[in-house]
Amino acid sequence: MRFCTPVDIAPSAFEIKHSNHILVMGSCFSEHIGKRLVDAYFPCLVNPYGILFNPASIAQSLQEIIQKKEYCTSDLVLYNGLYHSMNHHGCFSCSHEEETLCQINESILQAHEHLLKTDYLFITFGTAWIYEMDGKVVANCHKMPAQRFDRRRMEVDEICEIYTSLIAQLRQIRPEIQIVFTVSPVRHTKDGLHENQLSKSTLLLAVDKICRQTNGCYYFPAYEIVLDELRDYRFFADDMAHPSELTVAYVWERFLDTYCSAPTRQLIDEAFRLQQRLEHRMLHPDSDEAKRFTQETQNKLADFLVKIGRTK
């Protein structure tokens, strides 16, 4: 007997290796997968604008990365003693204008250089609901009063039009780039449950249309794995909206099954064991045993980096 409905995932058209550069953009769910890729020592850059939720803001951030946009004073808003970019997550906000601009511009420059080498771009849409200020879509409201924004839901064709243009721009600077879309299983309950369903449906339809119309674009069913295959509140965190750590680990396993070969998975397992050693805190760090452990760990790390063709 079966007690779940497994999601069938078609074999991937490509295989991810440690020699590939990866860029991960989008919602907080993408952060979970991106962090695991980084911990596994893939050349992976995760959310250079911070966590972004809607397709329009993700597309705008990628366009600015392509163009190497340089932010200036007029691009910031001062609110509650902090300088904010309406296009960035709050992790970039600082009490000093120069510090905010420095962080933003350094991140964009780093992302541009990474994008020029990126083989695989993973984009996770979180919601089709967008907020606009003065006619412009914002990525983050930074807890400003709601009356300063207009809220609406994007349309399927609107999303497709934006990404048709974006993908063409991406392929001008990186013709071989492959793009994988996912829809976040995180439920945006503050929008209302029905509104959340409408939002996710819009995203799913838009991604399907983009992938059907554009070569080199694919869909990974993280949304279906969590909502259909697992389908139980025990797989969610205490807020009943975000997936639990166990759920993220399961989706990660399905991700590896789809995109990584057995030899690459062995390297990933080795990387995680190394990461555990690096994060281990010795009770007596000045002891001979601790020093020996540290040296052995550094030797193992050096050997592993050589094995995957990387240096520190």
225 within a domain of the structure (yes/no): yes
Mean pLDDT of 237-246: 81
Residue 175 is part of which domain span? 21-261
Cα–Cα distances in Å, from 310 out to 29, 75, 295, 303? 27, 37, 19, 10
What would the pLDDT profile of 147-185 be if each residue is shown by its tens digit? 999 999 999 999 999 999 999 999 999 999 999 999 999
Query: Which of 262, 195, 193, 249 has the alpha carbon at shortest distance from 222?
Result: 249
Does some domain include residue 181?
A: yes
Domain assignment present for residue 15? The answer is no
Provide the terminal-to-terminal Cα distance of the chain, rounded to the nearest Å.
Answer: 49
Q: Which two tokens stand for residue 99?
A: 């510090």
Q: Is the pLDDT of residue 311 over 70?
A: no
pLDDT value of position 285: 83
Q: Looking at residues 269-298, what average pLDDT do you find?
A: 90
pLDDT tens for each residue of 115-151: 999 999 999 999 999 999 999 999 999 999 999 999 9
Exposed/middle/buried for 301, CB within 10 Å: 0-12, 13-18, 19+? middle
pLDDT above 80: residue 312: no
pLDDT in tens, 216-225: 999 999 999 9
* 188 within 8 A of 151, measured Cβ to Cβ: no
- Edge-to-edge strand order for the sheet containing 136-138? 136-138, 129-133, 150-153
Does a structural domain hold residue 273?
A: no
Q: Phi, psi (5° rounding) for residue 120? A: -130, 125
Counted domains in the chain:
1
Task: Decide if 151 is inside a domain.
Answer: yes
Question: Is residue 8 a part of any domain in this protein?
Answer: no
Distance CA 191, CA 109 (A): 34
CA distance 93 to 81: 10
Amino acid making up residue 156: V
Q: Specify if 5 maps to a domain.
A: no
In a domain, 233, yes or no: yes
| pLDDT (0 to 100) of residue 172 | 97
d(CA 226, CA 231): 6
Give the CATH number of the domain where residue 222 resides: 3.40.50.1110
